[in-house]
Amino acid sequence: MARDHDSMPQSYEYDVLIIGSGAAGLTVALNLPEHLRVCVISKADISSGATLWAQGGIAAVLDDTDSVENHIQDTLNAGGGLCHEDAVRFTVEHSKESIKWLIDSGVKFTRQDDGEDYHLTREGGHSHRRIIHAADATGHAVSTTLASQAQARPNIDLKAGRVAVDLITNRKLALPGNRCVGAYILNLEDNHVELFRARFTVIATGGASKAYRYTTNPDGASGDGIAMAWRAGCRVANMEFNQFHPTCLYHPHAKSFLITEAVRGEGGVLRLPDGSRFMDRFDERAELAPRDIVARAIDHEMKRLGADHLFLDISHKPADFIKQHFPTIYEKCLSFGIDITREPIPVVPAAHYTCGGIVSDERARTDINQLYVVGEAAFTGLHGANRMASNSLLECLVYGRAAAQDITRREADIPPPPSAPDWDESQVRDSDEDVIISHNWDELRHFMWDYVGIVRTTKRLQRAKHRVDLLSREIGEFYSNYRVSNDLIELRNLVTVSDLIICSALQRKESRGLHYTLDYPGLLNDAQDTVLVPTTYRTLSP
């Protein structure tokens, strides 16, 4: 039963607070010892994050003809000179054991026809078949399996219908040291902000693709963790590298439905409205070129022709093959009157993955003590200037397990969190101006798409910066005077991450990977990360 505004908000204390319930957050939770009291926060249902919608699969070295060195080299090649080789090696070397952990946890991956070996597919940028998958709904299999495992653990509390507002640090409490001690969390059922104190806090909130008008991501991908960490004093890096998935289903009623890269990996071809192919004019690898090249080629052709969309065609393959390999896509398209065994799929590029994020190390530690970050919200150095297909779920698993191991190693030495004040709602009132929030939301996503999209110019970025500064001031005033809501929290965070994206893009005076600007079409000789430092940043004390 919902409480009224005068009742006392709830207060909780845990050993580990995990904000986000996708593959990254649940991997941390399930790899922690069962004597630790763990809480996993989720905006909607526990299985509502981006993991649920991941179609393709997970990259790992699982075949005798493949090797760790091959996978490392492919990732470095795709990353445009900005991958951190130590992070790539760390991730790939732990790939096989991470997949084994998923299998042991009960994930049912697709097997070969003989039922013995697992079926491995190949995607853009990969030199070998190394993508293990569960048909074309791998994310669903991983997400639901891990969620059911977490629900069965008595030490894990799963709290849905909650959105994080801000992290609580020693600095905010006017205490010495540089430590995170929990977070303020909005309970969406009764609209009260609750206090969650914890010895360790893990950000696993996903990316920021909802900053863009067209995206493959679920509604919750509003950059919450990145924005909260930035406000708390964490550095962020490489936010200009937003991956646009080349092929999102173009249909007025198909909200954010992605057509997996595996369709091209299994022989799908891109076509113009007249039916002709075009990718070979942009790259010798044609449809199997890295995503940034494919997305730019589609964007170029759409603008050249004034077309709303192009087409992805796999209808030349046998119908049984298509239905077996892509059952989800087949059924979804059919529900919109598109039979992919007979006709091409209308597609458009859409914001898909945030390659940058909160600066972290191989143990998933951030710039603030006892604050960790895993998954898409993190900048580990793995992806560089362009994420290679199916490395993202692998990153969630490898760094999620690494974070859990580090917390386990340190937990005996970390004292309980200090007391903290309840959220103060005494000086705010309910908003009767929700139209302002929805208008600002639309304005932000439109100018980010138009000015900070697949192809950029300095003038476009400067226009976006001017608009985001105005929005930031407006929303800051709104935030100070009104009771927080989910929409206001997400808009505040989206404005913050949009500003980080724009500032990062303005700093990069070259075209590299996913950042393509007409003013600087060439590469600089020296590949450097774009690292932004907040005014609240402190160097870590031991």
Catalytic sites, residue numbers: 291
Name 215's bridge partners.
351
For the chain, what is the largest distance between any 2 Cα atoms, rounded to a whole number of angstroms? 67
In degrees and rounded to multiples of 5, residue 477 shows phi and psi of: -65, -40
d(CA 361, CA 401): 13
Nearest alpha carbon to residue 502 among 474, 479, 471 = 471
Non-local (6+) Cβ contacts of 339 within 8 A are 333
Query: Both tokens of residue 99?
Result: 């997949």
The H or E element spanning position 185 is strand 180-187
In degrees and rounded to multiples of 5, residue 411 shows phi and psi of: -60, -30
d(CA 199, CA 39): 12
In degrees and rounded to multiples of 5, residue 351 shows phi and psi of: -60, 130
d(CA 151, CA 168): 27
Composition of the chain by helix, strand, coil, percent to 5: 35, 20, 45
Non-local (6+) Cβ contacts of 465 within 8 A are 499, 502, 503, 506
d(CA 393, CA 204): 12
Q: What are the angstrom distances between the C-alpha of 179 and each of 169, 197, 393? A: 6, 12, 28
Give the CB-side neighbour count of residue 453, counting CA atoms within 13 A.
21
